[in-house]
Chains A and B, each alone.
Chain A
Amino acid sequence: MDFKFTEENLSRIESVRKKYPDSKAALMPVLYIAQEQNGYITREVMDEVALVLGIKAVDVLGVATFYTMYHTSPVGKYHLQVCTNVSCMLKGGYEMLEETVKKLGIGVNEVTPDGKFSIEEVECMGSCGTAPMMAVNNDYFENLTKEKLNEILDSLK
């Protein structure tokens, strides 16, 4: 499967590059743009990123696989990230994770067959004062209870 950036994204990449003195530094923002366009980052995507930035594919691979927010396999339309780190754990973070798993019938790091949901257990998201919490894609849902969690999941169509 070939991957090519859209014209619009190519011009976004051009403006991102202006923020840095060399094109290698644009790698992280460009990976985000690629992920936005393709959903996740495949080897073909990495090759294209390398080509566009004029850097080595192996360097793209090294960076893309280091971070948890770049997905190298597909995630659901709604990617649920439940925090279980200490402050959340003290307030029921693991119960929220269990409830999510039970409700969706998939395990952690799995995607529902319809591609709608995926679950990830994440480290502290900086919401410790409003724990427990979960992020759905980029949006935070805080002070969760089982009821609130179910309401949120039901509302995601």
Chain B
Amino acid sequence: MEKILLLDIPNYHRIDVYREHGGYETVKKAYSMSPDEVIDEVKKSGLRGRGGASFLTGLKWSFMPKTSDKPKYLCINGDESEPGSFKDRQIFEFNPHALIEGALIACYAIQAKAAYIYVRGEYHNWIEMLQKALDDAYSMGLVGEKMKETFQTPYECNIYIHKGAGAYICGEESSLMNSIEGKRPYPRVKPPFPAQNGLWGCPTTINNVETISNIPAIIKNGWQWFSRIGEPRHPGTLLFGVSGHVMKPGVYELPSGVLLTDLIYNYAGGVPGGKKIKCVIPGGSSMPPLRGDQIEGVKMDAESLKAAGSAIGTGGVIVMDEDTDLVRVLARITKFYYHESCGQCTPCREGTGWMLKALNRIARGQGTTSDLELLIDVAKNIEGNTVCALGDAAAWPVKFMITRFRDEFEKAVKKEVVMPVASMVHSMRHTALPLAELKKN
């Protein structure tokens, strides 16, 4: 199988080895094209973002204004804090120069003055690896002022690393920009989108680390080559991080569209003890969980997972065997979103707290059927009513876990309805429901 990012070449992270294998040659090719031609090539390749939303990369680049009296910027998102995701870290460690070369090409395509690579602070040691690679590229004249001479072009740009400090919300694009600017990282209301009003109010494009690292191979081999890898509607390879109850957890680079069951049973070695799978979260903890009996035949790409009732997200696959206590799992996931909510919007700030309280109550064996309704109700009230998508990310696991594993949650709660009206006063819609209606559920 062809790999693009995690190649089996020893010491590929070293600049000399990377260059021996044609590294940084593609920059020359890209700079011999016009910026629009580069964007067009990426558009035709069908590359979709690897940061969660699977947005078309070429299309995003084309939103950047062609003329602007302000400088333009590229942000590269390496915040990687979604539970179950640990793929970008592999790029920092094993292929940092593909990221740097990709940044040089992407900056040129959107005519950016500089790129900021935002890396989560906990990845301190990986930041040092990336910094070493970047320093090497600078000292060889591949980045910054000297690149004009090296690549014989009038274009130059700088690349900087910005270290995060432990906040999941900084992965959200506008929060990330506020974080770089040294402000409190509250997500911004959109529109305006980053292409109009990004870093320091200037036109900005933001892409994930894995997205940018694919760019050199696309420009080198052409869009036709890339578009033929994997699933045509979401082409290329993806870095799948498999964790939880599998024999061989880890990151697997495979063509998109690989079967989820193949990924779990063939690549990750199946479930220890030959146990059955109860639940799989296919794309990081924010994505709707699937039942073990829902995964047969499901392909790992954006469209197929959508059809299956979930989403590809960051490709972080969390596998849970038949003995897993899903109430505890959901309570833990919810604790995360409660902790990470920036507090700006009431539904997210308060709702995550309510959901956590109800789930903890159920986990202690003190929950009732009405708690389940309450949870779904709160989740629905958060979804779509917040400034950023963290609200949805907190709501989805609750909504889908409880509806898809209703039997399991029913077993964990007492049947009788305790004070249904009192526990639901927050939601005016439901206070009007007759008691009989609630008892039915």
Q: Looking at chain A, what size class is its interface with the partner chain?
A: 35 or more
Contact A85 B200 (CB under 8 A): no
B84 interfacial contact with A, CB 8 Å: yes
- Interchain CB contact under 8 A, A32 and B336: no
**How far, in whole Å, are A124 and B244 apart by their CA atoms in the complex?**
13
Task: Tell whether B180 is near chain A: CB-to-CB under 8 Å.
Answer: yes
Residue in B86, B165, B241, B333 whose beta carbon sits within 8 Å of that of A86 in the complex: B333
With contact pairs A131-B243, A138-B124 given, residues A86 and B84 touching in the complex (Cβ less than 8 Å)? yes
Given A19-B160, A25-B180 in contact, is the A128-B166 Cβ separation under 8 Å? no
* A86→B166 contact, CB < 8 A: no
Asked if A129 contacts B86 (CB within 8 A), the reply is: yes
Give min CB distance, B112 to chain A, whole Å. 13
Name B's interface SS. mixed
CB pair B85 A126 closer than 8 Å: yes
B167 touches A67 (CB 8 A): yes
Tell yes or no: B139 within 8 A of A by CB.
Answer: no
Contact with A along B331-342 (1 / 0, CB 8 A): 011001001100
B125 at the binding interface (Cβ < 8 Å): yes
Task: Judge whether A66 and B167 touch: CB under 8 Å.
Answer: yes
Kindly identify which residue among B124, B249, B285 contacts A129, using a CB–CB cutoff of 8 Å: B249
Q: On chain B, which size bracket covers the interface?
A: 35 or more
Q: Does A115 contact B (CB under 8 A)?
A: no
Indicate if A78 sits at the interface (CB-CB under 8 A).
no
Interchain CB contact (< 8 A) of A85 among B83, B164, B179: B83
What sequence of 0s and 1s flags, for each residue 76-91 of chain A, a beta carbon within 8 Å of any chain B beta carbon? 0000010011110111
User: Do residues B185 and A126 form an inter-chain contact, with CB atoms below 8 A?
Assistant: no
**B245 surroundings in chain A (CB, below 8 A):** 90
Chain A residues near B292 (CB, 8 Å)?
Answer: none
A128 near B184: Cβ-Cβ < 8 Å: no
Q: CA A127 – CA B242 in complex, angstroms? A: 11
List B contacts of A45 (CB < 8 A). Answer: none
Contact of B85 among A20, A66, A81, A128 (CB under 8 A): A128
Residues 23-53 of A, flagged 1 when their CB comes within 8 A of B and 0 if not, give 0111111011000000000000000000000
Q: Are A24 and B181 in contact (CB under 8 A)?
A: yes
- B82 and chain A: residue at smallest CB distance: A124
Q: How far is the CB of B171 from chain A (nearest CB, A)?
A: 11
Decide: A69 near B328, CB < 8 A? Known: A27-B182, A87-B244, A126-B120. Answer: no
CB–CB A129/B182 < 8 A: no
B166 touches A67 (CB 8 A): yes
Q: Report A54 CB to chain B, min CB distance, Å.
A: 12
User: B289-325: contact bitstring with A at CB < 8 Å (1 yes, 0 no)?
Assistant: 0000000000000000000000000001010100010
The interface of chain B, by Cβ under 8 A from chain A, is 71, 80-86, 89, 120-125, 160, 162-168, 179-185, 200, 241-245, 249-251, 281, 285, 316, 318, 320, 324, 328-329, 332-333, 336, 339-340
Can you pick out 19 interface pairs between chain A and chain B where the beta carbons lie within 8 Å of each other? A25-B181, A28-B179, A29-B163, A66-B185, A68-B166, A69-B122, A89-B328, A89-B332, A90-B320, A124-B81, A124-B83, A124-B84, A126-B89, A128-B241, A128-B243, A129-B86, A129-B242, A131-B249, A135-B122
7 other A-B residue contacts (CB within 8 Å) besides A21-B200, A67-B165, A90-B243: A20-B160, A59-B183, A67-B121, A81-B122, A123-B339, A128-B241, A128-B318
A residues with a Cβ closer than 8 A to B are 19-22, 24-29, 31-32, 55, 59, 62-63, 66-70, 81, 84-87, 89-91, 122-131, 135, 138-140
